[in-house]
């Protein structure tokens, strides 16, 4: 069934989402930038890709408007309990993720399996994560890198969380690099004195992220009220 979509945030990602949505037979009925009025009356689903500092206010406002929401903005997940409460109170539905790429979601699953396999040998292998993004990306490390860390850390209990560039001893080092025009590259690395094991996901363009957001929009009607991670929908 063709959907009527409203895009809150219409930068490069919003434009990529529109292209994927139209290719799948959907219609974009609103393109909302930061200074625009929110005319959502004709929309079936809202897709929000904005900035970390505005995401929570946007999502709270969207919850009250009663339109199901797909959120691909990162850097706000510490406020997820409050956002979820707002959607439950409004009897509304939200699908969120640090990354809507199907390939990245599969890599998250592989990351957990690899960490579990290496856990018995953690006295030999030192884990680390590296992410590379375009210079317009504001949050560092990326939400995707933090998701990789969340999948790894339970299997390495001696690591007390993560730190940027490993500045805090006893933590998982995450390196964040900003280089144009990189859409997103993430590497989970295990280093020993004799070898190195790596899991790397390289995004060639924004299409994978955009397609995942549209797939989530197509499936959100089947969700119960509240907040749902994209992985729950896929797997």
Q: Where in the sequence numbering do the catalytic residues fall? A: 133, 137
From residue 143, how far is each of 18, 57, 98, 162 by CA, in Å? 23, 18, 5, 13
Assign residue 17 a region: left if phi > 0, alpha if psi is -120 to 50, beta otherwise?
alpha
Q: Is the peptide bond before 230 cis (omega within 30 degrees of 0)?
A: no
**194 DSSP assignment:** S
**150 DSSP assignment:** H
The strand pair at 184-191 and 226-229 is best described as unpaired
Q: Which two tokens stand for residue 93?
A: 């539905």
Q: Which of 67, 104, 102, 115 is nearest to 87 (CA)?
A: 67
């Amino acid at each position: 069934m063709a959907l009527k979509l409203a895009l809150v945030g219409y930068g490069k990602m919003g434009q990529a989402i529109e292209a994927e949505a139209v290719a799948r037979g959907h219609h974009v009925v609103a393109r909302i930038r930061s200074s625009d009025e929110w005319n959502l009356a004709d929309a079936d689903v809202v897709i929000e890709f904005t900035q970390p500092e505005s995401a929570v206010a946007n999502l709270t406002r969207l919850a009250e408007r009663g339109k199901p929401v797909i959120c691909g903005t990162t850097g706000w997940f510490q406020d997820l309990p409050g956002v979820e409460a707002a959607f439950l109170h409004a009897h509304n539905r939200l699908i969120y993720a640090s990354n809507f790429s199907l390939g990245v979601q599969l890599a998250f699953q592989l990351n957990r399996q690899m960490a579990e396999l290496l856990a018995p040998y953690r006295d030999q292998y030192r884990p680390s994560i590296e992410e590379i993004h375009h210079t317009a990306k504001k949050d560092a490390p990326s939400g995707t890198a933090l998701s990789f860390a969340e999948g790894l850390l339970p299997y390495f209990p001696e690591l007390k969380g993560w730190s940027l560039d490993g500045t805090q001893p006893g933590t998982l080092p995450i390196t964040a690099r900003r280089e144009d025009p990189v859409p997103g590259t993430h590497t989970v690395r295990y280093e020993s004195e004799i070898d190195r094991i790596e899991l790397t996901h390289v995004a060639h363009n924004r299409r994978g992220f955009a397609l995942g957001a549209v797939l989530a929009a197509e499936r959100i009607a089947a969700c119960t009220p509240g907040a749902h991670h994209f992985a729950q929908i896929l797997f």
